[in-house]
């Protein structure tokens, strides 16, 4: 069993209404999302590293 299976599942976030946003606000929003994507990718890398270490330990 994966430790992530024990964490509660969250519902997908509601989509943001883009219609009232200006072009500049949309570009800023994209920047915010790119920062968040980077943060998520780092978390994935850390978790994969921990998993690989655990798998290597228990395969011995």
The token pair at 57 is 């330990």
Q: Phi/psi of residue 16, each to 5°? A: -80, 140
Residue with the bigger pLDDT between 1 and 51: it is: 51
pTM above 0.95, yes or no: no
Helix (H, G, I), strand (E, B) or coil at 27: helix
Q: How long is the chain?
A: 60
Task: Please name the residue that has the structure tokens 């969250």.
Answer: 10
User: Domain-by-domain residue ranges, the chain?
Assistant: 20-60
Per-residue pLDDT tens digits for 9-31: 778 888 999 999 999 999 999 99
Q: What pLDDT score does 32 carry?
A: 97
Per-residue pLDDT tens digits for 30-43: 999 999 999 999 99
């Amino acid at each position: 069993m994966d430790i992530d299976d024990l964490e509660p599942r969250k519902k997908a976030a509601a989509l943001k209404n883009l219609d009232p946003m200006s072009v500049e606000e949309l570009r800023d929003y994209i920047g915010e999302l790119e920062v968040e994507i980077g943060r998520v990718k780092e978390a994935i890398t850390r978790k994969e590293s921990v998993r690989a270490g655990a798998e290597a330990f228990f395969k011995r």
